[in-house]
Structure 1
C-alpha cells in the first residue's frame, strides 16, 4: 500500500532564531519513499542535515524574524499489514544484551526509573517471558492513564503520569518505557506518523504520535500503550531515550507556534495523489492548534 504523509507548520519569530528540526523520515524508511522527501520553507532559508547520536535525521535552520512556514508532503510504501506481535519473545539476560541496547535500560529525563522500580517488580515480577511481560505493561499503562489533549504537559515525567493518571500519547510511552527498563528490558521512545488506517477514524485532530520499542527475542518490537493493539502504516521519524531526544523542533530563542497540521492517509487511487508544497489547514488541525496555544 501507499501512504501520503506530511505537515504544514509555521512559527512567528521576533528575531532570527536558530532551530533544530526533527521532521524527516527515519533513515530506516528511506528505501520506502516513493516521492521526493525534503523540508521546504517559506521564506526559503538554508538548511543542513546531520545524524544525531541515535541515528535520527536532524535539520539545522536559522528562522528569520517574522513568519516562517515549514512543509513537507511525500508518498511512502508500506506493507499494509499490522505490525508483528511478540507474545512468545524471550527476555534476554542482561549479560546477553547487545552493547547498543544498554543505554535504553538507564533512567532519563522523563523516564525516572528509580521512582517506579518497586512498583514494576511487585506488579510484573512474576510474569515470565519478555513478550508477555511487555504486553502486561502495556495493558497496565493503557488502563492506568486517561487520554486527552487537554491533559498535555511538556514536563510530566513517567512517575507523575502514573500518579496523575492523565496524559497524551507521550505520557503513555514514557510510563511504559520506564516500567520496561525497571524490569531490565531495553525500551526506546519513538515518534512519527500514525494514521487512521485499518481502524475507525479518530475524531481528534491529526498529530504526530508517540509509541515505543522493546528489545526482546533478539530484536526490537513495536508497542503502543495508548492504542494497545497492532496498527498499520506506522512511519517512524525518530527514536531516543525519551521525548527530550526527539523533539520535533527546538528553538534557541522565542518562536511562537502559529500553525500546525499533520497529514497521514492511505493512497486509495494513485491518480488522485497531488503532491504540493501547501497542505490545506483542516478544521481538526485548527482545533488542535487552539489547544496547543491555550
Structure 2
C-alpha cells in the first residue's frame, strides 16, 4: 500500500476512534444524568410504580441485517472501537424495550454460528447497552452439551454459560434431559447471592402455546416471572415480566433466554447432528479455545 493510501487509512481510523470516544462520553453523560434524575424523583412516584408488582420488558428480534447500529461507512470499525466485546463478526439482531425506550441490543457471532461446521459451530451472543457497552454474554457450551446429550442417549441437552457485567459467578442455564415426546421442555439455573447462597430457578414451557411461552418458577414452587411469545411476528417478539425488586441478574437471564428462543430449534438440531456424527466416527471431538478456557481448573499451578 502506498504512503498516501496509508495516510488516508490512518486518518479514517483516527476519525472512527474519535467518533467512538465521543459516543462513549455521551453515554457516560446520559447515564449520570439519568442517575441524577432518578435520585431527584419523589418517593410517591416510585411507590406507584412498585404497586403493580412487576417489571416488564420486550425482546424484539429484527428480520433484516440492515439496521441503524451497523449500517453506514466505517460503522463496524466504530462499534469495535466502542467495545472490545464487539468482535469483527458480530451481527446485531434485536433489541430490548423497557417503558417504551430501547435499553439494550443483542448481537451474535455470525461466523461462529452460520459459517462454521461440526465442533467449531457454536452460538455466542451478547447483550449491549444502546451505545454498545457490554452487559452480558451467553455461550452454547458444546463440550458440556454433547456430554449431556450422550448421557440422555441422543436427546439434545444444551448447556449455556451466562457471564454478566455485575456478577462474580458464571450462571449455567441447562435444558432438562427429563423430556418425553410432545411434552413441554424445561430449563434450569441458579444464581449465587452476595452471601454465597444459591437460589434455584426453573423455566417451564406452557403445555399449549404457539409463540414460545414460559413460566419462571423459583425453588419454592412459586411463579415469579413469565415470557410470552407473540404468535404473529416475523422476526420474533417475547414479552417478559418478573416480580419487582428481583435480582438484577435474574432479569438479565430472562432477557437472554428470550433472545435465545430464535436459536433454540437450531441448537437442538446441531447437538443431534454432533451426537450422531460422533457415534458414526465422522466427527472428531474438539473444543474451541475460548470454550476450553471456561473448563480450566481455577486452582491449577500457573
What is the TM-score when the length of structure 1 is the normalising length?
Answer: 0.23
Q: Bigger radius of gyration, 1 or 2?
A: 2
Higher RCO (CA < 8 A, seq sep 6+): 1
What is the TM-score when the length of structure 2 is the normalising length?
Answer: 0.23
> Which one has a larger percent helix, Structure 1 or Structure 2?
2
